[in-house]
Structure 1
Amino acid sequence: MELVTSKKNLVIAGQPYEGFPILLWSSMESCVPVNKFFRHYLLRGAIGSKRSWISIGRALYDFFSFLQAHELDWRDVDRGEAKSLVAAYRDYCLMTCKLARNTTRQRLTYICKFYEYALKEGWVKRLPFAHEERTVKRKPGFLAHLDINGGRVMANNVMPRTDRTLPKFLIISEIQSLLAATENIHHRMMMRLALHTGLRREEIASFPLAYVFDPDKAKRTERNIRVRLDPFDGSGMVTKGSKSRTIFVSRQFMGELYRYMTKMRGERSLTNNRSPQSLFLNQCGKSYSADGKSLNRIIKICGKRAGINVHMHMLRHSYATHTLVSLQRNPASGLEPLVFVQRQLGHSSIQTTMVYLHLINEMADEAVLAYDDELNALAEALQ
């Protein structure tokens, strides 16, 4: 059995979808049920980013490889007292492959979705798993005290319990060390944009030149400036799931972006006659790749110089954590902290944002600072 990438573009509503995962048997005949599930699950928008499609295909591929290696039929869901196929694969991932529980859970999620679809299509008579009542810790949030379920939920019984892994973030002293170790002004400004806004790496890589302006010439004088991230405005902006959102950028930092654009960035743009739309350019005067992976390599190298193990997404976590703390300590701002951070980060669900509430409870007092002002002070000290 082999997982391949479709050589022909799948066209939906007149739009090509390249890289659609297709599962093939060793005979090179298409595994029709799985591919039908792919089209149902992926193309209806269940997964916002198409970059995740291949990993979903690989999860199904690995499951069917496991079945084939043990001469098992995926339709064998009535196994009596014997362990179900999905439970057997779970134990294989955890015990034989030594995969993390969260990685195993992610794979099982897609496999269970496939079986739910197979049941609906009549390919199997029942699901190879059941649901059981589990006790979970209450998550802090709006009206949490009114939870009538008593912290008990119905959960898939083949799923291993989740590891509580909190996102890692940088404290102010680590941010200072990282920026000080980054001598390249272009790299430093990319990091600062992430630290000031919480943008993802692909959003940093594609951040348009058109979004930067001289704040001194703006009619309004508020401290923060609204910037609309719109992947359909022709600026080249890339967002997760191509969803538009409005973020806030401090007036002072917008001024610094403008000075960077007019002075430092211009030197790199002279090496490219095409005049790229993105704010940040590589040493050849070209835009960074749309996925922003090269930015991750840059920050890892800079972090190594500073003695810090850091990646691009950690800057996003740092922004979210420190901003949430700052807003909670300054209620006079009139903003609902969690909602503001959710919108700034572009989370579809506020439950995703709530993980930062756990982080701030573990922060030391010296890390609780007015975040944006502190970053600006650090930047001025480096100049």
Structure 2
Amino acid sequence: MGLALIREGSLDAAEAAFQRALQIDPRRFETWHQLVALYRRKGQEAQAEASLAKARVHDPDSVAIGLATASRDVVDDDSDQALAMLIAAASQSPRAVGHAPDAVVQVAQELIKHDRYTEALELLGRLPAEQQDWVDVRFERGLCYRYLGMYRAAMNEFQAILDQEPQSAKAQFNFALLLMFSLRFDEADGAFGRLRAERPSQESLALQAWLYQGVGRLAGGRFDDADAILSALLATHPDMATAQAYRGLCRLRMGQLEEARADMAAASQAEGKHWLVHSLNGIVLMALGLTTEAIASFATATTLVSPAPRLSRLGLAAARLANGQEAPCPVTDAERQSEALPFWFALLGPQGIALCRNLGLVETVAGSATSS
């Protein structure tokens, strides 16, 4: 509450909020330190020093106090320096972690934004045992597992959240997405359908669930159904480039080559800098035998996001292989051990399966072959 009021410029109200919090629990050193920062912002140095002394009484570890300091700075400016302060403070003072769990979750969120999933997991793991089951902690941990391709571990986290909060829309969506990534297409389809039916007021979430219903049916080989879903979506949201690109891929799989090219052209015109549009266009070009153009499309996709997405890397290698070129291995050692590859090979189709065999990923070939 206090930080939100500071962001709104309501400094006196923020001071009152911090003081109320300290009346309830005067040992919360991070609140004392937030009060220090507030007083300094107001130019009240004497009050700031008095509050800092209180913070040190309850936690003499200056590094622990720094955890809350950096947490506030990240909120204010999202700077790399503030994030580095947060990580250093949390790493050097285990006691601070347990005293400032909200700040720790915030650090994890910042690490996830920077694709530093392993570090985020390590940080969350430092929280005391009684805080490991908190919904916010489980959610960030689930995201880390999902991005790392550890789908079963991620599903366990989101299922645990749903056991505590059955109506958590974010957990429902992530669980449905993980079902799809795990090639459990029928279950994913049902989960996305329920989200659409039960959350019509949450337009963004319902829209994504609608899109992924189509994507799941496409990856699962139900091309007519996927085309119907994506066409209905585009009828009401004609500017949704990712839906148009997925429909283009679907129509390629249905043998409707001209329609596929038209969809891809429209998607590229609408969203020419989206890595997914370039990647899906590369799949279509590769399937049409236009491997040089496919290589260019995948190569562009790899430059639009850092790190380069799995589909873009795999597609680029598959296109180079199809073109008779040497292709650096697009799969990290960690990815070889993860559950993240079969879904993307399923989308790549026959060329993806050829790449999969070339990489020696026999089990992944089997998983993809049954889904495309």
TM-score if structure 1 supplies the norm length?
0.28
Q: Counting strand residues as a fraction of each chain, which structure ranks higher?
A: 1
Higher RCO, 1 vs 2 (CA within 8 Å, ≥6 residues apart): 1
TM-score if structure 2 supplies the norm length?
0.29
Q: Counting helix residues as a fraction of each chain, which structure ranks higher?
A: 2
